[in-house]
Amino acid sequence: MSQVKQNDTVKVHYTGKLTDGQIFDSSLEREPLEFTIGDGKLIPGFENAIIDMKLNDKKTVEIAKEDAYGDILEELFHQVPKDQLPQDMEPEVGMGLASKGPDGIEHQFRVIEVKEDHIVVDGNHPLAGQDLVFELEVVEIN
């Protein structure tokens, strides 16, 4: 039976949890995740955990934050004056915002604080700074 290796395209069912057991994502109620090992579209720890698994193998892995979404970076917190927001926007904590940088790339932010004259946004991935646990099952190898 073949094992997953670099450049294989695989389909994987997964359940992602925080270390306290809280589930943040799962493919069990939808199609399995399909990706190619080594193309860098997923966090490194997830891809590395799949390598050498066989068809129908199941395992649970803990992925350190360094191999997931990294540390929380203070430079990704920004104060935005309210007069720079769209006039019809009423910002709320937890609200998602998008902004295009000078390079034309869209960046995602979450509002983490609303003050009288400004808001504070966080550009870190919501799972940054956290170790993650994944339950994995390889359902197809190509």
How many residues belong to the chain? Answer: 142
- The 8-class DSSP code of residue 129 comes to T
pLDDT value, residue 136: 98
**Same structural domain, 84 and 117:** yes
The pTM score is: 0.86
Q: What is the CATH number of the domain that holds 46?
A: 3.10.50.40
Q: Is residue 48 part of a domain?
A: yes
Q: Is residue 2 part of a domain?
A: no
Distance, CA of 117 to CA of 95 (rounded, Å): 17
Residue 3 lies in a domain: no
Q: What is the mean pLDDT of the chain?
A: 96
Residue 60 and residue 80 share a domain: no
What is the per-residue pLDDT across 84-142, written as a single tens digit (0 to 9) for each? 999 999 999 999 999 888 899 999 999 999 999 999 999 999 999 999 999 999 999 99
Q: Assign residue 127 a region: left if phi > 0, alpha if psi is -120 to 50, beta otherwise?
A: alpha
Same domain membership, residue 134 and residue 64:
yes
pLDDT tens sequence across 36-93: 999 999 999 999 999 999 999 999 999 999 999 999 999 999 999 999 999 999 999 9
Range of the domain at 56: 9-70+128-141
**Beta carbons of 141 and 55 less than 8 angstroms apart:** yes
Specify the number of domains making up the chain. 2
90 & 41 share domain: no
Query: Does residue 113 share a domain with residue 137?
Result: no
